[in-house]
Amino acid sequence: MTQKNINPTKVITGPQTRWSYANVWEAKSINGSDPKYSVSLIIPKDDQKTVKKIREAIQAAYKDSESKLKGNGKSVPPLKAIKTPLRDGDIDRPDDEAYANAYFVNANSKNAPGIVDSDRQPILDQSEVYSGCYGRASITFYAFNSNGNKGIACSLNHLQKFADGEPLSGRTSAEEDFADDDYDDDDFLS
């Protein structure tokens, strides 16, 4: 049996975490920034185990980086005064049904995440991983102090898909678009 590396800033979410805005196959640049892989992790509020682990990891990242957060200031800002990545979907995304009764964390990385299935086998078919599916995420929290912005951010490590879900893209499939036979084929080529 191997010894697990205990990192207090690393969290493995529960399998009922839903993935949204999943840019996990190709790094994308936002407003000219460095290209990154990213995902919004939607965590049901009743998954108290994951929420507790995230809060503890944020606290650990804060404690580990007090000198970074202090910067040139005289004191370390209190955790409540800085940006943290755990957000309430009911408050921050009230018009998005996918975020109702859930918390969410936006995670990103310059490195491509490893993506596996429930048996820990690599997923190679990109159509298998999309915004709306469910699974676990390996994420790490860290402090930042850049250009006057101080806070805790979340890095994306890896993803493990457990279940398909309703796609969150709003886009329909070809099968759905052509399911209705409301055209008159008598007019075809007449």
* CA dihedral over 25, 28, 34, 39, signed as positive or negative: negative
pTM equals 0.85
CA distance 58 to 111: 21
| Domain boundaries of the chain, sorted by first residue | 10-178
* Residue 182 clears pLDDT 90, i.e. is over it: no
Max Cα–Cα distance, the chain, nearest Å: 82
DSSP states along 20-34? EEEEEEEEE-STTPP
Instruction: Give the position of tokens 């191997």.
Output: 2
To which residue do tokens 């290209």 refer? Answer: 35
Residue pair 40/153 in contact by the 8 Å Cβ criterion:
no
Q: Got the DSSP string for 60-97? A: HHHHHTHHHHHTTSSSPPPGGGSB-S-EEHHHH-TT-G
Record the tokens describing residue 79, joined without a space: 């955790």
- Residue 21, pLDDT > 90, answer yes
Instruction: Tell me the three-class secondary structure of 107-120, residue by residue.
Output: EEECCCCEEECCCC
| 43 within 8 A of 51, measured Cβ to Cβ | yes
Name residue, tokens 């398909």.
164
pLDDT for the residue 68: 81
**For the segment 32-73, what is each residue's pLDDT rounded down to a tens digit?**
889 999 999 999 999 999 999 999 999 999 998 887 887 777
Q: What is the pLDDT of residue 91?
A: 96
Residue 123 DSSP SS3: coil
Strand partners of residue 11: 139
User: For the chain, how far is it from start to end, CA to CA, in angstroms?
Assistant: 73
pLDDT tens digit string along 119-149?
Answer: 999 999 999 999 999 999 999 999 998 877 8
pLDDT category, 6, cuts 50, 70, 90? confident
pLDDT the model gives residue 102: 98
How long a stretch of residues is the chain?
A: 190
Indicate the Cα dihedral angle 129, 163, 43, 93, nearest 10°.
60
Q: In this structure, what token pair is assigned to residue 136?
A: 């676990």
Please tell me the CATH superfamily of domain 10-178, with its number: Nucleic acid-binding proteins (2.40.50.140)
The mean pLDDT value of the chain amounts to 89
Mean pLDDT of 106-112: 97
